[in-house]
Amino acid sequence: MDQLALFLIIVGALNWGLIGFFQFDLISTLFGEEESIVARIVYTAVGLAGVYSIKFLFGLREQPNPENGS
Protein backbone atom coordinates (compact mmCIF):
# COMPACT_ATOMS: atom_id res chain seq x y z
CA MET A 1 0.00 0.00 0.00
CA ASP A 2 2.87 2.35 0.80
CA GLN A 3 4.40 1.86 -2.66
CA LEU A 4 1.07 2.51 -4.37
CA ALA A 5 0.61 5.69 -2.35
CA LEU A 6 4.14 6.81 -3.23
CA PHE A 7 3.53 6.11 -6.92
CA LEU A 8 0.31 8.14 -6.90
CA ILE A 9 2.00 11.01 -5.05
CA ILE A 10 4.77 11.05 -7.66
CA VAL A 11 2.18 11.09 -10.46
CA GLY A 12 0.40 13.98 -8.75
CA ALA A 13 3.62 15.90 -8.16
CA LEU A 14 4.73 15.47 -11.77
CA ASN A 15 1.30 16.59 -12.95
CA TRP A 16 1.47 19.72 -10.76
CA GLY A 17 4.97 20.42 -12.03
CA LEU A 18 3.78 20.21 -15.62
CA ILE A 19 0.87 22.50 -14.82
CA GLY A 20 3.17 25.00 -13.11
CA PHE A 21 5.89 25.04 -15.75
CA PHE A 22 3.95 24.50 -18.96
CA GLN A 23 0.23 24.90 -18.11
CA PHE A 24 -0.19 21.28 -19.27
CA ASP A 25 -2.42 18.90 -17.32
CA LEU A 26 -1.21 15.39 -18.13
CA ILE A 27 -4.05 13.67 -16.28
CA SER A 28 -6.70 15.56 -18.25
CA THR A 29 -4.85 14.85 -21.48
CA LEU A 30 -4.59 11.10 -20.82
CA PHE A 31 -7.99 10.47 -19.23
CA GLY A 32 -10.24 13.23 -20.53
CA GLU A 33 -11.15 16.65 -19.26
CA GLU A 34 -11.53 17.29 -15.54
CA GLU A 35 -15.24 16.46 -15.83
CA SER A 36 -14.39 12.94 -17.08
CA ILE A 37 -15.19 10.24 -14.52
CA VAL A 38 -11.83 8.51 -15.13
CA ALA A 39 -9.88 11.75 -14.60
CA ARG A 40 -11.86 12.43 -11.41
CA ILE A 41 -11.05 8.94 -10.15
CA VAL A 42 -7.34 9.52 -10.79
CA TYR A 43 -7.44 12.93 -9.06
CA THR A 44 -9.29 11.37 -6.12
CA ALA A 45 -6.80 8.50 -5.86
CA VAL A 46 -3.89 10.97 -5.83
CA GLY A 47 -5.60 13.00 -3.11
CA LEU A 48 -6.32 9.93 -1.00
CA ALA A 49 -2.71 8.81 -1.40
CA GLY A 50 -1.62 12.18 -0.07
CA VAL A 51 -3.88 11.86 2.95
CA TYR A 52 -2.70 8.29 3.53
CA SER A 53 0.93 9.43 3.35
CA ILE A 54 0.55 11.95 6.16
CA LYS A 55 1.48 9.04 8.40
CA PHE A 56 5.02 9.22 7.00
CA LEU A 57 5.48 12.65 8.60
CA PHE A 58 5.05 11.18 12.04
CA GLY A 59 5.92 7.50 11.65
CA LEU A 60 9.32 7.54 10.01
CA ARG A 61 11.56 9.00 12.66
CA GLU A 62 15.16 8.00 12.96
CA GLN A 63 15.42 5.13 15.39
CA PRO A 64 18.38 5.01 17.80
CA ASN A 65 21.03 2.55 16.70
CA PRO A 66 22.67 0.77 19.65
CA GLU A 67 25.61 -0.29 17.46
CA ASN A 68 26.90 3.24 16.90
CA GLY A 69 25.86 4.69 20.25
CA SER A 70 23.16 7.05 18.99
pLDDT in tens, 29-42: 999 887 889 999 99
50 assigned to some structural domain: yes
- Average pLDDT in the 40-50 region? 94
Residue 60 lies in a domain: no
Can you give the residue range of the structural domain that contains 9? Answer: 2-55
User: Does 69 reside within a domain?
Assistant: no
Q: Is 65 a domain residue? A: no
Within a domain: 64: no
Domain count for the chain, please give it.
Answer: 1
Name 26's Cβ contacts closer than 8 Å, sequence gap at least 6. 14, 15, 18
Assigned domain for 47 exists: yes
What contacts 5, CB < 8 A, 6 or more positions away? 49, 52, 53
The answer to whether position 62 is within a domain reads: no
Whether 32 maps to a domain, the answer reads yes
| pTM recorded for the entire structure | 0.74
